[in-house]
Amino acid sequence: MNTAPTAPADSVARIAPLVAELGPRFTRLSDDIWDHPELRWEEHRSVEKQIEIAEELGARISRSIGGIPTAFSAEWGEGGPVIAILGEYDALASLSQASGSTTREPDPGNAGDAGHGCGHNLLGAGSLLAAAAVARRLDAGGLTGTVRYYGCPAEEAAAGKTFMVAAGAFDDVDAAVTWHPADAMSTSQIHSLAYTQAYFRFRGTASHAGAAPQHGRSALDAAELMNIGVNFLREHMDDHERIHYAFTDAGGTSANVVQSTAELYYVVRSPTVARMRALYERVKRIAEGAALMTDTVFEVEFDGACAELLPNRALEKRLHANVIELGGVPYDDDDQEYGRALRAGLPVGAAEARFAQLDLAPGADPLFTGVAPLTDPAQRHRMTGSTDVGDVSWVVPTVQIMGGTHILGTPPHSWQFVAQGKSPAAHKGMVHAAAAMAATALDLVTDPALLDAAKAEFADTTAVTPYDCPIPDGTVPPPLREGYHPA
Q: Measuring CA to CA, which residue among 231, 225, 229, 296 is closest to residue 261?
A: 296
Report the amino acid identity of residue 476.
V
What are the tens digits of pLDDT across the range 180-194? 999 999 999 999 999
What would the mean pLDDT of 387-406 be, rounded to a whole number? 98
Ramachandran assignment for 41, one of left (phi > 0), alpha (psi -120 to 50 degrees), beta (any other)? left
pLDDT digit string, tens, across residues 127-152: 999 999 999 999 999 999 999 999 99
Segment 417-421 mean pLDDT: 98
- Angle, helices 448-464 vs 313-326, to 10°: value is 140
Question: Exposed, middle or buried, 334 (CB in 10 Å: 0-12/13-18/19+)?
Answer: exposed
Query: Is the confidence at residue 486, as pLDDT, over 90?
Result: no
- pLDDT, residue 487, reads 62
Q: Where are the domains of the chain?
A: 11-192+308-464, 194-306
| Interval 205-217 mean pLDDT | 97
Phi–psi pair at 182, nearest 5 degrees = -155, -175
The architecture in CATH of the region 194-306 reads: 2-Layer Sandwich (3.30)
Q: Measured on CA atoms in the order 426, 431, 437, 439, is the torsion positive or negative? A: negative
Is the pLDDT reported for residue 33 higher than 90? Answer: yes
Mean pLDDT, all residues of the chain: 96
* Biggest alpha carbon–alpha carbon distance for the chain: 82
Give mean pLDDT, residues 211-226: 98
Contacts 24+ apart (CB under 8 A), 453-456: 453/2, 453/3, 453/4, 453/314, 454/4, 454/175, 454/312, 454/314, 454/315, 454/397, 455/174, 455/175, 455/397, 456/1, 456/2, 456/314
pLDDT band at 485; cut points 50, 70, 90? confident
User: Measured between alpha carbons, how far is 122 from 125 in angstroms, rounded to an integer?
Assistant: 5
Length of the chain: 487
β-partners of residue 150 are 73, 86
pLDDT of residue 285: 98
Q: How far is CA 163 from CA 57, 302, 388, in A?
A: 28, 13, 9
Give 257's pLDDT tier (boundaries 50, 70, 90): very high
What pLDDT shows up at residue 482?
A: 84
Task: Point out the least confidently predicted range of 179-188, 211-220, 472-481.
Answer: 472-481
Share of the chain above pLDDT 70, in %: 98
Beta strands in 1-144 (DSSP E): 60-63, 72-78, 82-88
Residue 71 and residue 151 in contact, taking contact as beta carbons nearer than 8 Å: yes
Is the domain 11-192+308-464 a CATH 3.40.630.10 member?
yes
Q: Which of 92, 63, 83, 89 is nearest to 152 (CA)?
A: 89
